[in-house]
Amino acid sequence: MPTPHNSAEAGDIAERILLPGDPLRAKYIAENFLTDAKEYSHVRNVLGYTGSYKGTPVSVQGTGMGMPSISIYVHELIDVYGVKKLIRVGSCGALAKSLHIRDVVIAQGTTTDSSMPKNIFGSSVNFAPLADFSLLESAVRHAREKNLSVHVGNVLSQDRFYDDEIDFSKLLSYGVLAAEMETAALYLLAAKFGVQALGIFTVSDHITCDEPRATPEERERSFNDMIKLALDSIIEG
């Protein structure tokens, strides 16, 4: 049952899936973490693979950048292909000074300047897109078992990468930990369809202070830690 954005047939995609924004990260995850991974789609160069992790079928697919892009892929993955558990994996920019480069951030909830929730609910309701608690609980437990520096809380899903108007200092004063660009849409669609979703990130840079960026080697190592955390969390239950 291919769609305009995905050439997978029925049964090609597992019920559990990791969602990096970068399609080449999907390829990297498939080649380095999944057993017997096979490509199921490369439409528009958005790569998707299915293999297994510790004996459990798992897929991985790129989503592109931003909420409009991830919304297309997530909607089809759930509605057309029957995906039940989705974990977004990616990088984020830290706001909180307690966060450091390479730390892991798990989005318990999302704040967004996107109009997507208002387009759905109207101006009288400000819907709060939240993570699935069982996935969140599993990820926190596994992070502690792996001795990862993990932070759990509210994350900004920003509609524009270059945004001179957004007030990061005010968001920080209200406890927002970090900024990225997709997870509010993921949580919104998971709520609509009644499936489980989570966002897990590594801190790649700091927005509110001058902590040096991670080196390519550090980014790869911390990315690998995040992927193992996401995989161990998604195969439970």
Catalytic residues: 21, 25, 44, 88, 91, 205, 219
**CA dist., res. 107 & res. 155, Å (int):** 6
Residue 134 near residue 195, CB atoms below 8 Å: no
C-alpha radius of gyration, the chain, whole number: 17
Terminal alpha carbon distance of the chain: 27
Neighbours of 122 (CB within 10 A): 9
The residues, ordered by sequence, that sit 6+ positions from 77 with a Cβ below 8 Å of its Cβ are 6, 13, 17, 61, 83, 86
CA separation, residue 18 to residues 22, 43, 101, 151 (Å): 12, 18, 22, 20
In 62-166, beta strands by DSSP E: 85-94, 104-112, 150-157
| CA dihedral over 220, 221, 226, 229, signed as positive or negative | positive
